[in-house]
A and B are shown apart, each in its own frame.
Chain A
Amino acid sequence: DAKTTQPTSMDCAEGRAANLPCNHSTISGNEYVYWYRQIHSQGPQYIIHGLKNNETNEMASLIITEDRKSSTLILPHATLRDTAVYYCIVRVEQGGSEKLVFGKGMKLTVNP
């Protein structure tokens, strides 16, 4: 079962920052939050991940609340090519195994 909930969809204007929310209220202390995106008919593309601290890379920033129950992915200057389904994911480790547990994701549409 997915451990994250996201809005079904969101729109954003081109050039503006896109703030994508995610709730993961049942996350355990050692479980990382990952963000991926998927464009139709392609495999998911890695964006960023974090545990407790905020993270930034060339694609995005990840803001994780202090209680770790929610996070926000920030695309600082959205472009039309950022239109995709975005997945907020918890990495689960159990009994020597590990996996990413996906939810249904959120469709982001960047409008001109």
Chain B
Amino acid sequence: DTGVSQNPRHKITKRGQNVTFRCDPISEHNRLYWYRQTLGQGPEFLTYFQNEAQLEKSRLLSDRFSAERPKGSFSTLEIQRTEQGDSAMYLCASSLNRGSYGYTFGSGTRLTVV
């Protein structure tokens, strides 16, 4: 098991473009989370999936953001019409059974919007 995998590690995009990030959780983990982290701040919760169901979306997740987890395995986070304020590290985490054994985070995707 290689842990939580996120791709790409880095993404530079022009303002107004769409970007998509992928997260592959630990295989037996049924819960998946997306967080966003800006410089000097702790990660902020974006959204939560239990299997394929998206059970919570933060108000930080504007209508330009969409996340999916088809078949309850990998997940994608898409940002449409990117803005400079979207520049951040996007972290994915997964867990089994309400985090009884902790939540495992990936290394993140660093997005820079120019």
Contacts and interface: CB of A to CB of B under 8 A. Distances in A.
Interface residues of B, number: 25
A99 interface: yes
Nearest to A101: B45
Contact of A100 (B4, B45, B56, B106): B45
B102 A49 contact: yes
Interface in B22-53: 31, 33, 35, 40-45, 48
A52 interface: no
Given A98-B48, A98-B99, A104-B40, 7 more contacts: A2-B42, A42-B107, A46-B102, A49-B99, A49-B102, A99-B56, A101-B45
Given A43-B106, A43-B108, A104-B42, A99 B91 contact: no
B104 interface: yes
Contacts of B48: 97-99
B105 A43 contact: yes
A52 B17 CA distance: 48
Given A43-B106, A44-B43, A104-B41, A98 B98 contact: yes
